[in-house]
Structure 1
Amino acid sequence: METRNKIALITGGSRGLGRNMALAIARKGIDVVITYHTKKEAADEVIEQIRLMGQSAWAFQLDTSNTKSFGSFVNELTILLEKETNSPNIDFLINNAGTALYAPIADTTEEQVDEVFNIHYKGVFFLTQKMLPFMNDSGGIVNISSGLTRIVMPGSAVYGSLKSAVETLTRYQAKELGSRKIRVNVIAPGAIETDFGGGRVRDNKEINEQIASFTALGRTGLPDDIGKVVAFLCTEDAYWINAQRIEISGGQGI
């Protein structure tokens, strides 16, 4: 009987860190589902690259801030997987989708807080809840936090606070899902050169040099620095890593 490949679902997989995670996970011999918000062409390109590696891959549109859409998304996903793989289940869930918010506390609006909350906490909580019946035992969840839960930078109060909530949620998920041998960890990237936040770390030379100056390894992070760690967490080699916050920052702000 042919063995079914393991499958990882990565939200926000069309660009930036999510794209890199998807490609790195595929290199481990794992099939991949990615979601995208608006960038279908970019998502299709990621899918094509993964299929060229010999892995199966699929892309779905999903707005992770809209929890009311999760039911239909999960239904469409599981129907496709049942058809393509003879099982509706996945093995790994990577809650990566997110947006930036840079605003001083004095100027932050309630609408801004709601938007970040819906994407970075509520969306993570309820998408995980919806996927739990369709996760194989002994799989894994990787949540995405930020170095900004430890390194305080003015303007990131809302973002950093909600990422702290995700770190706490991770420990609760690990405890509650332990009986199913589902491991749950959270990674906390430092400043990374992507288009996140308008590409400010990648494209603003002054910001890039400033961050590099207080990072032990002397540079800002690159997507490959993150994707490979997430891929590792989706392997048996990482089985005994559970309920952990893993900062991937090159020693930023130590």
Structure 2
Amino acid sequence: MGVLDGKVALVTGGSRGIGRAVAERLGRDGAVVAVAYGSDRAAADEVVARIGAAGGRAFALHAAFGAHGDAAALWTAFDAATPVPGVDIIVNNAGTNSPADIFALTEDEFDRVFAVNVRAPFFVVREGLGRLRDGGRIINISSGAARLAMPSGIAYGSTKGALDTFTVNLAAQLGSRGITANSVAPGIIDTDINASWLRGNPEAQAGAAALAALGRVGTPEDIAGVVAFLASDDARWVTGRVVDATGGAGL
């Protein structure tokens, strides 16, 4: 039996990178996984198929974030598709970036990044609370950029700081229902988003690895393992925390 048998999980941004690894890990651990994707249905279907091939259950949901009402639309689709009413685990992983410093960042880009990285998780949780069972889990994917200076991505780091504040407030307000809320803060992870500068570039690989005390670049599976722990009953006494998953960057 898996440690998450009988549980239902929603993973936003679940079709690639960290979200994909999280969805597949929660599926292996026994959860029925809603794989929410933004634009690539084929990738989401592949994740669903991989979870099924490993003996799990999953289904894909379209979830485009950035506009008002997107979170409500996600949950409407979830209700129509889920084989089991309600949800036990919400993983807010979907996110975006804008590679601009304070001088280059436009107001439109600022609004876009905050809409996806802050407003969407806020309303995904709020609209989902009526479905989230007592003893549930809220896991927000933050970033080491919330505590480390990264001027070239100032909007991104700012959104992740906001997400961490959101997390601690959720923990305080929902604790009476046995619901935990935690953030996971990755460092540099080898995903498609970083492929253009990281993969096939030994110098970039070495530089990124040197930032971590553990001496390598992180993988999506490294983060999925932390999320799986927080989703499990073993983490029932952990809430309101930011779990650093940077491999010891900036120590």
Give TM-score scaled by structure 1 length. 0.93
Q: Could you say what the CA RMSD is over the residues aligned between the two structures, in angstroms?
A: 1.4
Q: Give a deviation string over 1:115-139, Cα, whole Å, max 9, x none.
A: 1000000111011111110111101
Which of 100, 105, 114 lines up with 2:97 in the alignment?
100
1:198 Cα deviation after fit: 5.6
Distance, in Å, in 1 between the alignment partners of 2:217 and 2:30 is 29
Letter in 1 for 2:141: I
1:235 equivalent to 2:232? Answer yes
| CA deviation map 1:28-66 (0-9, x unaligned) | 111100111111111000000111122211101111222
Identity %: 39
Superposed counterparts of 1:112-151, under 5 Å: 112-151=109-148
Q: How many Å separate the matches in 2 of 1:24 and 1:114?
A: 32
For residue 72 of structure 2, what is the aligned residue in structure 1?
71
Secondary structure in 2 aligned to 1:12? Answer: coil
Residue 12 of structure 1: aligned partner: 13
Residue number in structure 2 paired with 1:43: 44
Partner of 1:182: 179
Equivalent residues of 1:67, 1:127 under 8 A apart: no
Shift of 1:209: 1.8
Q: Which moved more, 1:151-160 or 1:241-250?
A: 151-160
SS in 2 for 1:105: coil
Equivalent residue, structure 2, for 1:52: 53
Q: CA deviation at 1:178?
A: 0.7
> Which residue of structure 2 aligns with residue 245 of structure 1?
242
- Runs of at least 5 residues in structure 1 that lack an aligned partner in the other structure: none
Q: Deviations over 1:189-224 (max 9, x none)?
A: 011010125643445443322121232111111111
Q: 1:163 aligns with which of 154, 160, 170?
A: 160
State the alpha-carbon separation in 2 of the partners of residues 69 and 243 from structure 1.
26
Q: Distance in 1 between matches of 2:9 and 2:177?
A: 17
- One-letter amino acid matched to 1:190: G
What is the aligned partner in structure 2 of residue 30 from structure 1? 31
Q: Which amino acid aligns with 1:195?
A: D
What amino acid maps onto 1:49 in structure 2? R
1:217 aligns with 2:217: no
CA contact (8 A) 1:183 1:239 kept: yes
- 1:207-252 Cα shifts (integer Å, max 9, x gaps): 3221212321111111111011111111111111111000101111
Does the 8 Å contact 2:24/2:51 carry over to 1?
A: yes
**Across the two proteins, how many residue pairs are aligned to each other?**
247
Displacement after TM superposition at 1:78 (Å): 1.2
C-alpha contact (below 8 Å) 1:14/1:42 kept by paired residues: yes
Compute the displacement of 1:156 (Å): 1.5
Counterpart Cα distance in 1 of 2:92 and 2:175: 19
Consecutive unaligned residues of structure 2, counting only runs of 5 or more, are none
Q: What residue in structure 2 maps to residue 206 of structure 1? A: 203
Do 1:100 and 1:197's aligned partners in 2 also have CA atoms closer than 8 Å? no
Query: How far apart are the structure 1 equivalents of 2:198 and 2:170?
Result: 32
In the alignment, the residues of structure 1 paired with residue 114 and residue 71 of structure 2 have an alpha-carbon distance, to the nearest angstrom, of: 16
Q: Partner letter of residue 13 of structure 2?
A: G
Q: TM-score, normalised by structure 2?
A: 0.94
SS of structure 1 residue aligned to 2:130: helix
